[in-house]
Structures are given as structure tokens and as C-alpha cells.
């Protein structure tokens, strides 16, 4: 106030003094603004993700696709229709390579091996009868022609996996079977004590699964001999990895544990707000999705939450995980999200499209192409640009 009164005085010296003071103050403010903007720019640059937004490469149309059958070996991509035929397309151009009709209802996912493409189907019967077996087929990757077939115990849903030259088939209702991928001969069978609720998870020479009887069971890959059986408080729903005799396991109540399979004790425990739907291993930790619409990055060392991201809808199996990014599709919300795996920030997203993205984990093809199913067929998007321009893809 004294300085304001002093500056209102009329003498020339006092007025010059006030002008100099005001000029100095404005200069200081301008310097602070410039420094703040520079710091903000540096901060935004440091937070900028190394992953670029997705670019659509191609779309392949089918009539009523079966979302469980989306699979790839980085050269071809397969998808089956609800009418029972399987189509194989070129992973780069989406050109059709072959189509084959299995003549029945498809009840499994598709897996690839050097010896072929593998899938299970059930014969179509009347309402009063049911097939006495499910049929596992090996198809030629070049032509789609059947190499061999093997009869399995009947199941309305079968999960396929592959390891050590064996096709592992797990029926929801009854048994696990190991089949030689070269000729279809059955190596061994094991009966389930209850209905399958988690797995089978194939890792480290063993097969681990959970049942509705609140138990975790592990079998030796080579022989099917039981390695361990552990009782749990709640029904297991998801597994991931084996880390120095430790297994990550989630359950229906949202508990995630790192379980020592030798002692049966927990190294650590994490609790989410709802049931655990899936667990994935990445270079940054464990990626966990739960039924309360969250994705978590959990430290493998101590179970701490490194970051979490809430999405607008439920994520069941629609998660693709790499060391750099996570791709999640929201079933029923017609949306998907590309998330930075290091910090959980959304890099790209699509809302309210006309297509209902199927609830299945998308594929990562050739390290940078994200491929997912829609009711109309398949779409491929890339984080590194497309190998072939859309204008060069002639068929539609």
C-alpha cells in the first residue's frame, strides 16, 4: 500500500522508479510462464507412450462366425462359422486359402502344430439323442483336408491345448485326454473329479486345472499321473505360469494368490472387488482381469498393485497381453481399448461401433497385428503399420 501511494506521487523520479519496478515484475512473470511451459512440454513428452494408435489393415467377412475358433500360426488365420465350416486366410492380405466343412457342430477352440490344424466337432443329432463321442480332427494347413480323426469322450464343450507334440483335450464334463499330434493315437486319459472351472493350464511339463469341487489338480504331461491335488476355500477360475514351483491362481471371490505347489502355502495374496476372470504373464508382472471391470498389473514379487485401469464393461476372456501393450475388448459394449502395459494409460480406444466384438482373447499375429472376431468375420489392426495397404487387398 505504501508503494502504491508512493507511485501515485507526481515527481518524475518516483514515476521512473515505479515504471522500472513494474517492468521487472512483468519480465519475471514472463520468465516463469516460459519455464513452466517448457517443464510441462518435457513432462508430456516423457509420459508419451511408445505405442502408436491402431491402424486398421483389413477386414474379412464370414456368415455367422464362431468366436472360439479364431487362431493363427502367423502365416494363416482360421475362423469357423456357426454352420460348421472352417475358413483359412492369409495373415497379411486376408485372401482365402481354403474352406472345409466338418459336417457337424464345432465344440472346441482351434490349435496349430507343425503337423496340422486341430479342432473338435460333434455330430448333429435329434433332440432325443446325443452323440456317443466327440471327434478330434487334424487338418492339413495347406489344403484343409483331414489328416486323421480320433474319437474322444463326448462333451458339449472341449478346450484344446498343445505341448511336447501332444494335443491336450479337456471336456468340461468329464476327462482330459492326451493325443499324439502326428497320428491321433491316444497316449493317456484322466477322469476329472468335478466339472472344469479353470484351465487346463499347460506349463513346465504339467497340466493344471481347477474344478467346481474347490480343488486344484496337476497332472504330469508325459504320463497323466497326478502330481498334486490341493483343496481351496473357493472355486478356482484362472491360472497362470509356474515360477520356481509357484502357481498364480484366482478364484470366484476375487482372491489372487501365488501358491507354492510343494508346500501348499501362499507367497502372497491380493484381493480384487469381484471374481478373477483371467491371469496373464507379462514382462511387467501379472495382468489380471476381474468381473468388476478392472484390469490390474500385479507385482510377481510381492503381490502389490503396480497400476489398475477400470473399463466401462465386463472383461471375461477378451484380453491380449504383451510386454508393451494390453488389448481388451468389452463384450456387449461394442468397444475396445489399447493400454500401455507399463503404466496402464489408454493409448487408443473405440466406442459404440456397429459391431459387437466377440468375447474372446484377440490374437497377436507377427508381433504387431491384433486380430479379433466380430459376428461378421475378422478384423486386423496394427500398432506398427500394415504390411499390405487396404487399396492393395482386392477381394472383399
Q: For 47-56, what is each residue's pLDDT tens digit?
A: 455 666 788 8
Q: Which residue has the higher pLDDT, 17 or 82?
A: 82
pLDDT at 387: 74
Residue 145 has pLDDT above 90, yes or no: yes
Q: How far apart are CA 48 and CA 307, in angstroms?
A: 17
Q: Which residue has the higher pLDDT, 11 or 154?
A: 154
List all residues 6 or more positions away from 85 whose beta carbon is below 8 Å from its beta carbon: 99, 100, 101, 102
Query: For residues 240 and 286, is the Cβ–Cβ distance under 8 A?
Result: yes
pLDDT at 20: 53
Q: How far apart are CA 40 and CA 219, in angstroms?
A: 55
Using a cut of 0.85, tell me whether the model's pTM lies above it: no
pLDDT at 355: 58
List all residues 6 or more positions away from 40 whose beta carbon is below 8 Å from its beta carbon: none
> How much of the chain exceeds pLDDT 70, in percent?
78
Band the pLDDT of 318: cuts 50, 70, 90: low
Q: What is the DSSP letter of 255?
A: E
Residue 31 has pLDDT above 70, yes or no: no
Q: What is the pLDDT of residues 243-265, one digit of tens each?
A: 778 889 999 999 999 988 778 78
pLDDT at 137: 96
Residue 112 has pLDDT above 60, yes or no: yes
Q: What is the pLDDT of residues 290-307, one digit of tens each?
A: 999 999 999 999 999 999
Q: Which residue has the higher pLDDT, 105 or 125?
A: 105
Band the pLDDT of 396: cuts 50, 70, 90: very low
Mean pLDDT of 155-179: 91
pLDDT at 204: 77
**In 10 A of CB 271, how many CB atoms?**
11
Q: How far apart are CA 378 and CA 369, in angstroms?
A: 12
> How much of the chain exceeds pLDDT 90, in percent?
46
Q: What is the overall mean pLDDT for the chain?
A: 82
**Most confident residue range from 40-44, 56-60, 319-323:** 56-60
Amino acid at each position: 500500500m505504501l508503494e502504491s501511494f508512493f507511485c501515485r506521487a507526481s515527481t518524475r523520479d518516483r514515476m521512473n522508479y515505479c515504471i522500472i519496478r513494474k517492468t521487472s515484475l512483468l519480465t519475471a512473470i514472463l520468465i516463469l510462464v516460459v519455464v513452466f511451459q517448457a517443464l510441462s512440454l518435457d513432462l508430456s513428452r516423457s509420459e508419451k507412450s511408445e505405442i502408436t494408435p491402431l491402424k486398421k489393415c483389413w477386414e474379412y467377412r464370414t456368415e455367422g462366425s464362431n468366436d472360439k475358433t479364431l487362431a493363427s500360426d502367423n502365416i494363416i488365420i482360421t475362423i469357423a462359422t456357426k454352420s460348421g465350416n472352417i475358413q483359412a486366410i492369409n495373415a497379411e492380405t486376408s485372401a482365402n486359402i481354403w474352406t472345409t466343412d466338418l459336417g457337424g457342430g464345432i465344440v472346441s477352440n482351434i490349435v496349430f502344430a507343425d503337423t496340422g490344424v486341430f479342432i473338435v466337432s460333434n455330430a448333429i443329432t435329434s433332440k432325443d439323442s446325443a452323440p456317443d463321442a466327440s471327434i478330434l480332427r487334424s487338418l492339413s494347413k495347406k489344403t484343409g483336408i483331414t489328416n486323421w480323426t480320433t474319437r474322444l469322450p463326448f462333451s458339449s464343450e472341449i478346450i484344446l491345448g498343445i505341448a511336447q507334440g501332444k494335443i491336450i483335450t479337456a471336456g468340461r464334463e468329464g476327462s482330459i485326454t492326451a493325443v499324439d499330434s502326428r497320428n491321433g493315437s491316444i497316449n493317456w486319459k484322466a477322469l476329472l473329479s468335478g466339472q472344469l472351472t479353470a484351465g487346463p493350464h499347460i506349463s513346465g511339463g504339467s497340466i493344471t486345472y481347477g474344478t467346481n469341487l474347490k480343488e486344484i489338480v496337476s497332472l504330469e504331461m508325459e504320463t497323466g499321473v497326478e502330481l498334486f491335488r490341493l483343496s481351496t476355500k473357493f472355486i478356482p477360475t484362472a491360472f497362470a505360469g509356474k515360477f520356481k514351483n509357484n502357481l498364480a491362481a484366482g478364484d470366484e471371490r476375487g482372491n489372487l494368490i501365488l501358491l507354492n505347489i510343494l508346500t501348499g502355502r501362499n507367497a502372497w495374496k491380493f484381493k480384487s472387488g469381484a471374481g478373477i476372470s483371467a491371469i496373464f504373464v507379462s514382462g511387467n508382472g501379472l495382468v489380471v482381469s476381474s468381473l468388476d471391470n478392472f484390469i490390474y498389473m500385479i507385482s510377481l514379487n510381492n503381490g502389490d498393485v503396480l497400476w489398475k485401469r477400470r473399463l466401462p464393461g465386463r472383461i471375461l476372456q477378451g484380453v491380449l497381453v504383451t510386454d508393451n501393450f494390453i488389448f481388451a475388448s468389452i463384450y456387449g459394449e461394442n468397444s475396445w481399448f489399447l493400454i500401455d502395459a507399463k503404466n496402464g494409460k489408454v493409448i487408443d480406444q473405440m466406442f459404440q461401433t456397429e459391431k459387437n466384438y466377440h468375447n474372446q482373447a484377440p490374437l497377436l499375429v507377427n508381433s504387431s497385428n491384433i486380430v479379433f472376431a466380430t459376428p461378421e468375420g475378422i478384423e486386423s489392426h496394427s500398432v506398427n503399420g500394415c504390411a499390405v495397404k487396404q487399396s492393395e487387398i482386392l477381394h472383399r
